[in-house]
Structure 1
Amino acid sequence: MLVAAAVCPCPPLLVPAVAGGAAPEMDAARAACADALGVLAAARPDRLVVVGPAGQDGRGPHPQGATGSFRGFGVDVDVVLGAAGSEESPAPDAGERPARELPASLAVGAWLLELVHWSAAPVTGLGVGEPLAAERCIHAGQEIARRSDRVALLVMGDASACRTLKAPGYLDERAAGFDEEVARALKSADVAALKALDAELAYELKAAGRAPWQVLAGAAEEAGLSGELLYEDAPYGVGYLVAAWS
């Protein structure tokens, strides 16, 4: 059963080295993410699953100990998902195929876990294809919730990328309303509202968090959690939201 969830944005700019130390506007988002992870630890889960959007190569499960990198963003920073070499993820035998590299969203999640020195529970990851239908996202969440008596989720994903003229997706007048609806749903832990998010509209607005949020909705169906919105802003024309459910 799901006992807690943290929802965080996944821009690599959350990592100070990627931002070059020149993005103070991300400081509040980092602090809110750390607070949300504190809520997860306080729930005393026996398993944490990090869920985030992924391209074709990064979709599917990622074991504890899987590695990621921000070298593609020009910095020599590597991360490990959870503690490598634990019982949950034994060291590979000689000749065994290594785990796939984490997609960027899960790499950011792994960095956040390292930031707070996460040790509360074993960690695995799930890369979710951004076009995945709502029904399949919800089913994936239901399956995650059944895996253990006390499951927590770290849900990575950005809201719309169309909030300003300089945004990655240019300005779309529908973006602010979409983000407001997501923020309201996350603040009130409104499972039904997350399930009802328009996948086509989310795609048009480049809202990469839509599928992970609907995985959360599936996992939280029977949990009866309450929500708190810890951060809401769009510093680069992209909606960034941080929430905690407990």
Structure 2
Amino acid sequence: MAVVAAFAVPHPPLIVPEVSPGKEREIPDTVAAYQEVARRIAALRPDAVVVSSPHAPLYADYIQISDGPSAQGDFSQFGARTPRYRVRYDETLAHEIERQGVATGVATGTLGRQDPSLDHGTLIPVHFIERACAEAGTTSPEYVRLGLSGLSPLEHYRMGMAVARAAEELGRSVVYVASGDLSHKLLESGPYGFAPEAPLFEKQVVDALATGDFLGLLAIDQDLAERAAECGLRSFQMMAGALDRTTVDAELLSHEGPFGVGYAVAAYSPTGHDPSRDFGEQYRELMMRRSHERRSAEDPLVALARASIEAWVRDRHTLTGDEVDDLLDERRTPHPVRALLDVPRACFVSLKKHGQLRGCIGTLAPTQACLSDEIVANAKSASTRDPRFRPVQPDELDDLVLDVDVLGDPEPVASLDELDPRVYGVIVSTEDGRRGVLLPDLAGVDAAEEQVAIAAQKGAIDAHAEPILLQRFRVERHL
């Protein structure tokens, strides 16, 4: 046996009548599609249902598999005492998924157990499945719950592959349910406001779900997804891996977003084996091409930062002034840029890997004789001394995407009205010398209040309980 069907579903609590009586009638297509999905699952009578949920325990570098014989949960956090559910876990399948994942290099397992109760991203599919099984008079399936992580789309895809291999190894019939909403910023009137990136992200995801274009799901720009406040993308990518090298009949059963949050329901029925649908390998090749294209088009300041990182990570060597000059000559760096690099300026160097931050170190005032030396020093530090991350390893170098931000002089700010997170960075400081900094135009940071709160947190400052000084600064961003 193997994965016999897969479904992408949302998890709005209001779809459960006991949570918001009558509100579910405002998303009728989603309700009807969810009921159809549950009926299909009940008719398949699978041995197990594997659910991936964005609200299960989540770690930056580890995909958690819920352990134990069973779990329960309810909707009390949303003000409803009923319904309540207890599900049985398929422990044998869970351990085999872990074994298969680890064998392919995925950081996964049952460690790091937090709250064992079922999260609403899992409870809502369980709610529909359990009711459909009761109506059909069939036995409820056992479940496996998977969390998401900050790992790359490819790692989530490989985790889905581990699910399929585990099902085959054990002879289990498995249904995969990918729980996840789409964008949370579709409407100004919605609970999270509007982001201009949201409609584009929504269209790309829905088109990919509708057609079974799993490469398209994997390749969605991570910055776009973050600015759109996505929820379920990694869950859908994991589901795609569970259908690796499998031809499918794809159906988009519904798509709605009346409350400013996108809800899509899609169904996939395996129809055969097709080696060409190895989207993980296709994605890896696509990312390599993009990396090479980006390298060739990099700004000279970014090329200098990259050379500094590579020299240190590979050889523990710090670039000399002559080597910097040779690099700039090789890239035919224009005179205005050379002139900029010759004067003292503060800068930040930021590293991303697969769309996730991998390091960021900078200075608010120059510490070196010139900007080129500042970039060399900060790039080296961003790759090895950011306390939030382990040092960059040689096998990661090709996956890094770099930004260099050259800072203007800070200026005092009298109120939040003078801040704009898209234009200005912010410095939050106290009289005793604590200080937190946040660069401008960061994905997901849309309000001045949010920008100040994040900067204050970075400086261990309670912005609500103690006097603070605000400063803003502009940056020249080099990509």
Into which bin does the TM-score normalised by the smaller protein fall?
0.7 to 0.9
Instruction: Tell me the equivalent position of 1:216.
Output: 239
Deviation at 1:42, TM superposition (A): 4.3
Instruction: Tell me the equivalent position of 1:79.
Output: 84
Q: Which runs of 5+ in 2 are unaligned?
A: 94-112, 270-479
Instruction: Tell me the equivalent position of 1:230.
Output: 253
Match of 1:135 among 146, 154, 161: 154
SS state at 1:7 partner: strand
Instruction: Tell me the equivalent position of 2:210.
Output: 187
Instruction: Tell me the equivalent position of 1:102.
Output: 118
Q: Is the 8 A contact 2:14 2:23 kept in 1?
A: no
Q: Which has the higher contact order (CA 8 A, sep 6+)?
A: 1
Mean Cα displacement is larger for which, 57-66 or 156-165? 57-66
Deviation at 1:244, TM superposition (A): 0.6
TM-score by length of 1: 0.85
Number of equivalences: 237
Instruction: Tell me the equivalent position of 2:127.
Output: 111
**RMSD of the TM alignment (CA)?**
2.7
Q: Which runs of 5+ in 1 are unaligned?
A: 90-96
More helix by share: 2
Q: Is the 8 A contact 1:13 1:26 kept in 2?
A: no
For residues 19-49 of structure 1, what are the alpha-carbon distances to aligned partners after superposition, in whole Å with 9 as ceiling and x for unaligned? 1233411333121011123333444533320
SS state at 1:242 partner: strand
Q: Is the 8 A contact 2:41 2:129 kept in 1?
A: no
SS state at 2:80 partner: coil
Change (3 A) 1:197 1:115: farther
Q: Percent identity?
A: 30
Instruction: Tell me the equivalent position of 1:68.
Output: 73
Deviation at 1:2, TM superposition (A): 2.4
Deviation at 1:174, TM superposition (A): 1.8
TM-score by length of 2: 0.46
Match of 1:126 among 121, 127, 146: 146
Deviation at 1:143, TM superposition (A): 0.6
1:202 & 1:68 partners in 2: Cα distance? 30
Instruction: Tell me the equivalent position of 1:50.
Output: 51
Deviation at 1:78, TM superposition (A): 4.6
1:57 & 1:116 partners in 2: Cα distance? 29
2:157 & 2:89 partners in 1: Cα distance? 31
Q: Which runs of 4+ in 1 moved over 6 A?
A: 85-89
Change (3 A) 1:77 1:98: farther
> Could you say which structure has the larger radius of gyration?
2
2:167 & 2:90 partners in 1: Cα distance? 18
2:142 & 2:24 partners in 1: Cα distance? 32
**Amino acid of the structure 1 residue aligned with 2:220:** L
Match of 1:156 among 155, 179, 182: 179
Deviation at 1:66, TM superposition (A): 1.1
Q: Is the 8 A contact 1:141 1:218 kept in 2?
A: yes
Q: Is the 8 A contact 1:160 1:238 kept in 2?
A: yes
Q: Is the 8 A contact 1:12 1:18 kept in 2?
A: yes
